[in-house]
């Protein structure tokens, strides 16, 4: 069977008159005639008669390698010999999610992204995993609704999909990860600059707390005092059976109360330990709610908290309670290491995210500046001393204070 390699030139390509140009950057394709019945191979529809398939590369040498593999598979198919098994995208995803669940690896984002991938594959007529070429993988990434620039959303969610591709490679379902290696192709790197965290003001926090009533009022107060994210605060008072009932992943990481006001736990997001105290009045309110304190699903409670925030007229998210408490502690001069232990994150992350709220560091820098002015012969505000001003007005020479 003869397979021809040719180029599909873009409209503005200067080599568009030469279908076989060896160094043009346009995509390479295969053209061949198939004498067997209609079937599928590598996720592509194989029709009787002429077929045109993408070579999945723009490099001529790679196309030659892919041509040899295609020729071998087509010959085996014609002769009725077994061809390597194709796995559908859906079957691979179902197996991947089961694997993650069995190994207690979080599947919330995995389920979200796999649903998006399946929907895109259905719309793009992609059935088999092997049909997810680098070009198609990038088209899928472009279709995702997540922001870049000042947000890590696209980077975080795309990492989930590349993890799925890597798993598929390890299982032998595909030969290589279709997501381009950004070390070799840096143009595909997702770039963003994290926005500076701006917590709500004291007045805004008071508005939200005044708007919230009932159980949701206790929930937002718990987040405000403990700096727990809503996913952790929601688990308060839950037993292992409660977690299963309300669909809570990793219920064993629920907050545990030790002496009414002391709460210990592991963050759901990072598994980092935290240890924080709440006020006695809040502890009494939580005890009055019974166990679990916040029954029902996380989705329901997130919606309730967001509704309270909207009604208060404040622009923030439920995570704003955590930002507010951390910045409040830092502004009060609490050591970075102590804040990190209270909220379950690293001192490095605290410094990176909340540096502009660390009063301890700002006070130290201010004192360094004051001491520098005094060494220079100025007053603590950086102004010339009164006797120095008088001396300069009389024309007296001033000593060189840098000696």
Q: What pLDDT is attached to residue 282?
A: 93
Q: What pLDDT is attached to residue 114?
A: 94
CATH number of 202-354: 1.10.443.10
Domain 89-188 has CATH 1.10.260: no
Whose CA is closest to 311, among 224, 208, 213? 208
Per residue, the 3-state secondary structure of 22-56, as one string, reads CCCCCEEEEEEEECCCCEEECCEEECCEEEEEECC
Listed in sequence order, the residues at least 6 apart from 30 whose beta carbon sits closer than 8 Å to its beta carbon are: 3, 4, 5, 51, 52, 53, 54, 55, 63, 66, 67, 70
Domain range annotation of the chain: 4-78, 89-188, 202-354, 360-393
Nearest 5°: phi and psi at 355? -55, -35
Q: What pLDDT is attached to residue 286?
A: 92
Segments of the chain scoring below 50 in pLDDT: 400-403
pTM exceeds cut of 0.85:
no
Give the integer Cα–Cα distance in Å for 96 and 337. Answer: 38
Largest CA-CA distance found in the chain, in angstroms, rounded: 109
> Both tokens of residue 365?
């820098």
Summarize pLDDT for 110-161 with one digit per residue, the tens. Answer: 999 999 999 999 998 888 888 898 999 999 999 998 877 767 788 889 999 9
Whose CA is closest to 208, among 325, 312, 324? 312
Same fold, 89-188 and 202-354: no
Whose CA is closest to 253, among 267, 269, 274? 267
Q: What pLDDT is attached to residue 5?
A: 94
Distance linking the first and last C-alpha atoms of the chain? 89
């Amino acid at each position: 069977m003869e397979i021809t390699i040719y180029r599909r030139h873009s409209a503005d390509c200067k080599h568009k008159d030469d279908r076989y140009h060896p160094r043009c950057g346009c995509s390479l394709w295969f053209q061949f005639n198939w004498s067997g019945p209609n079937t599928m191979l590598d996720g592509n529809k194989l029709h009787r008669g002429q077929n045109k398939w993408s070579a999945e590369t723009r490099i001529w040498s790679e196309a030659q390698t892919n041509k040899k593999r295609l020729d071998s598979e087509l010959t085996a198919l014609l002769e009725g010999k077994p061809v390597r098994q194709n796995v559908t995208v859906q079957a691979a995803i179902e197996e991947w999610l089961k694997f993650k669940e069995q190994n207690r690896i979080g599947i919330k984002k995995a389920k979200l992204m796999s649903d998006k991938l399946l929907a895109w594959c259905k719309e793009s007529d992609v059935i088999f995993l092997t049909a997810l070429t680098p070009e198609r993988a990038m088209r899928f990434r472009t279709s995702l609704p997540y922001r870049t620039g000042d947000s890590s959303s696209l980077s975080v969610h795309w990492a989930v999909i590349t993890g799925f591709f890597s798993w598929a490679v390890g299982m032998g379902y595909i030969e290589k990860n279709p997501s381009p290696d950004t070390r070799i192709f840096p143009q595909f790197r997702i770039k963003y600059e994290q926005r500076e965290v701006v917590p709500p003001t004291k007045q805004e926090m008071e508005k939200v707390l005044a708007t919230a009533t009932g159980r949701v009022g206790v929930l937002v107060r718990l987040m405000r005092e403990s700096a727990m994210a809503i996913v952790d605060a929601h688990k308060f008072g839950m037993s292992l059976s409660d977690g299963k009932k309300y669909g809570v992943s990793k219920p064993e990481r629920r907050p545990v109360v030790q002496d009414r006001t002391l709460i210990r736990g592991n963050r759901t997001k990072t598994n980092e330990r935290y240890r924080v105290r709440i006020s006695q009045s809040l502890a009494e309110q939580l005890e009055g709610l019974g166990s679990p304190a916040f029954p029902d699903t996380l989705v329901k409670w997130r919606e309730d908290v967001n509704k309270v925030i909207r009604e208060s007229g404040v622009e923030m998210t439920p995570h704003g309670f955590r930002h507010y408490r951390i910045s409040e502690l830092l502004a009060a001069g609490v050591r970075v290491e102590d804040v990190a232990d209270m909220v379950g994150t690293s001192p490095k992350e605290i410094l990176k995210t909340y540096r502009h709220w660390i009063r301890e560091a700002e006070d130290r820098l201010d004192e360094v500046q004051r001491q520098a002015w005094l060494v220079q012969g100025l007053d603590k505000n950086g102004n010339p001393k009164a006797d120095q001003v008088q001396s300069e007005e009389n024309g007296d020479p001033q000593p060189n204070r840098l000696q």
